[in-house]
Structure formats: C-alpha cells, structure tokens
C-alpha cells in the first residue's frame, strides 16, 4: 500500500470521528441537564462503570471529573459482581457507559443498583437498550458510523463518549465555580503543579538582591544599581521602602535619546510612576499574564501599603518552570 493510500485511510478515520463529535451537539438536551443537576446534588461520589473500551473511556472520565471538582472513581463491572459493589453507597450517582446498552456484565448490576436506590445515569448509543430504559437519565451518544472499515472496532463511539464525558466534566466545573487554585490542589506534581501552586513570594528577589534607589539618586547611581542586580529595573522608594516608582531599561533608553546628563539628572524626575506591581501571595502564573498583557519584563512586589516586598522579572518565572 503506497503512502497516499495510507494517508487517505487515516484522513477518513479523522473525518468520520470528527463528524461523530459534531453530531453530539444535538444530544445536549434536557437529559444532559438532568444528569448535571443529579451530579451537582450528589452527596456521595460519582461511580463510573464500563466494560472493555467503554471501561477505558469511563476511567478517563472518572479521572477528569475527580480533577475538576467532582469526586469520582471507576469500578470495573466484572469486579463489582465479585465484591466491589461494596464501594457504592446509596448516596452515590452511578454513570454507566455502554455503546450497545446491552453489555451483560453491566445489565447484571442494574437490579442491585436499583435496590441500593442510587441514581443511574446511562451513556449509550442506543436509546432503546435495556440500560437506557432502566436508567434514571439517559445521555445519547449514538454515532452514524464507526471509523473502523469493518464497523466492529469501537472508534467513533468511544470518541463520542469521551467528548461527552468532557462536556459533562467541564460543565460541572463551571457550575461549581471551580478555580485554578482548586485545580492546583489536586495537581501538585510536575510543571502543571509548579505553574498552579508557585506563588510570587517563592520566586521573587528580596533583601539585598532587590535593586533599590531613592528618588534623589542620580542616573549614574541608578545605572550602577541596575547593572549590579541585573534585573532590568530599579525600584525607586522612600527610605521606608514605600514604592514611589520604577526605573526600567526602557526608561534608560529614553533618557539616552534625550541626551540627559547621568550625573545631574535625578531618577525621581524620569522614573515611571505607575509601574506594574503585584502582591507577594499571588500565584506566579498570574505574573506571567500581567507581564504578557502589558509587555513588560519585570514587576515590583508590594503589600497593601505600597511597601516593597520583592522584585520579579520574566527570567525568574522561566527558570522556575512557570512559563
């Protein structure tokens, strides 16, 4: 088979699955709303069930729910029949995935789940199936065609279920008012954790490492301090470290263009009085947004009384893995 034929097959798969996902829009209906309301009202956990490929998708959905503010876990239906049903309580909501809605291992659990009195949300591609009929809520994820040319391997159907699960999780995230700080608490490791948990105070320069001059310092003294501390800016403060302004390398270039005498020009006369500042207890990722929004390279870190707490520049965030 030549390369063009291989590319054509791959593109057909992508096209078929993309169409399946696009068609899900019509299934965001009152059943979807009912599922969201049931999960939001749940006093227990969301228990996700699914066999085979549906089980793999169910595991991912459970993980996404758990990491976005909806406590959830996955239970294998076969294991549930051999003791793991004890993990499910009457206060839980059970989300069951089965494209056919007739999976034997799942159907066997329905009478037990009914006796427990749990809310059952089914996600199937067959609205007339046993699972759909016995569930309290049925979310339809039917697809016209599998991407598999034999029409056998779950492809479009599993992709549709995965996307619907993401739609459910993100809708719930928004409804709960879930924040970046909430997300960080369940993602403490790796670069993601650093980006979300690291605060300004963890990466800023403090004490003798802060470039600071008084408003009465001349440009020559200011340039020496800027060069020594190598942060591309100098905080201009009162003796108490109350911030009056900032002098940046951009300000220095403007002074040079005006041919100002560095020995007689006072920094207080040429500093930027409304320089960008940030609090020390803010997440470092917020500093990245601020630097990008205003196209500046550094920030002064202050408290509520405008007292200088530290100095931060873009390279500090880069080295900390926040960028």
For residue range 6-48, list pLDDT tens digits in order: 999 999 999 999 999 999 999 999 999 999 999 999 999 999 9
SS3 136: coil
Q: CB–CB of 35/97 below 8 Å?
A: no
Mean pLDDT computed over every residue of the chain = 92
Residue ranges covered by each domain of the chain: 3-178, 200-319
- Return the DSSP state at 69: T
> pLDDT tens digits for 114-155?
999 999 999 999 999 999 999 999 999 999 999 998 888 999
Residue 196's pLDDT band (cuts 50, 70, 90): low
Domain over 3-178 is classified CATH 3.40.50.150 = no
SS3 181: helix
pLDDT > 70: what percent of the chain? 96
Q: 206 pLDDT exceeds 80?
A: yes
- Return the DSSP state at 88: -
Token pair, residue 127, equals 């609205």
Q: What is the CATH number of domain 200-319?
A: 3.10.580.10
Residue 281's pLDDT band (cuts 50, 70, 90): confident
Do the domains 3-178 and 200-319 sit in the same CATH topology, yes or no?
no
- Mean pLDDT, range 62-77, rounded to an integer: 95
Report d(CA 168, CA 153) in Å as an integer: 25
Query: Among 8-12, 85-89, 160-164, 198-202, which stretch is predicted with the lowest mean pLDDT?
Result: 198-202
| Strands (DSSP E) found in the chain | 46-50, 72-75, 93-97, 119-124, 137-140, 212-214, 233-237, 243-248, 277-279, 298-302, 308-313
> What angle separates helix 52-67 from helix 156-176, to the nearest 10 degrees?
20
SS3 47: strand
> pLDDT tens digits for 258-277?
999 999 999 999 999 988 99
Q: Which of 208, 231, 232, 211 is nearest to 221 (CA)?
A: 211
Exposure pattern of 243-271 as b/e (b: 16+ CB <10 Å)? bbbbbbeebbeebeeeeeebeebebbebb
Report d(CA 102, CA 126) in Å as an integer: 9
Q: Which of 16, 42, 47 is nearest to 156 (CA)?
A: 16
Q: Is the pTM of this model over 0.85?
A: no
Residue 288's pLDDT band (cuts 50, 70, 90): confident
- Mean pLDDT, range 281-287, rounded to an integer: 86
């Amino acid at each position: 088979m030549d390369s063009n034929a291989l590319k054509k097959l791959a593109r057909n798969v992508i096209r078929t699955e993309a169409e399946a996902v696009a068609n899900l829009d019509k299934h965001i209906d009152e059943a979807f709303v009912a599922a969201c309301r049931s999960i939001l009202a749940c006093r227990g956990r969301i228990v996700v069930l699914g066999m085979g490929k549906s089980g793999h998708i169910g595991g991912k959905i459970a993980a996404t729910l758990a990491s976005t503010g909806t406590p959830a876990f996955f239970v294998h239906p076969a294991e549930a029949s051999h003791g793991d049903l004890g993990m499910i309580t009457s206060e839980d909501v059970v989300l069951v995935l089965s494209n056919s809605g007739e999976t034997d291992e799942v159907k066997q659990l329905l009478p037990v789940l009914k006796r427990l009195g749990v809310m059952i949300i089914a996600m199937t591609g067959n609205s007339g199936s046993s699972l759909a009929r016995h569930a309290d809520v049925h979310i339809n994820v039917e697809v016209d065609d599998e991407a598999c040319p034999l029409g056998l391997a779950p492809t479009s159907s599993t992709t549709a279920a995965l996307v619907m699960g993401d739609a459910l999780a993100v809708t719930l995230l928004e409804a709960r008012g879930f924040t970046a700080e909430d997300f960080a608490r369940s993602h403490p490791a790796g670069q993601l954790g650093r980006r979300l948990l690291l605060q300004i105070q963890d990466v800023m320069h403090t004490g003798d490492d802060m470039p600071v001059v008084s408003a009465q310092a001349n440009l020559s003294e200011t340039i020496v301090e800027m060069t020594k501390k190598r942060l591309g800016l100098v905080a201009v403060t009162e003796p108490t470290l109350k911030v009056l302004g900032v002098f940046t390398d951009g300000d220095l270039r403007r002074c040079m263009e005006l041919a100002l005498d560095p020995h007689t020009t006072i920094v207080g006369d040429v500093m930027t009085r409304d320089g960008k500042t940030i609090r020390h207890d803010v997440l470092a990722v917020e500093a990245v947004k601020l630097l990008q929004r205003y196209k500046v390279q550094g920030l002064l870190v202050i408290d509520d009384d405008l007292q200088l707490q530290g100095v931060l520049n873009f390279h500090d965030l880069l080295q900390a893995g926040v960028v």
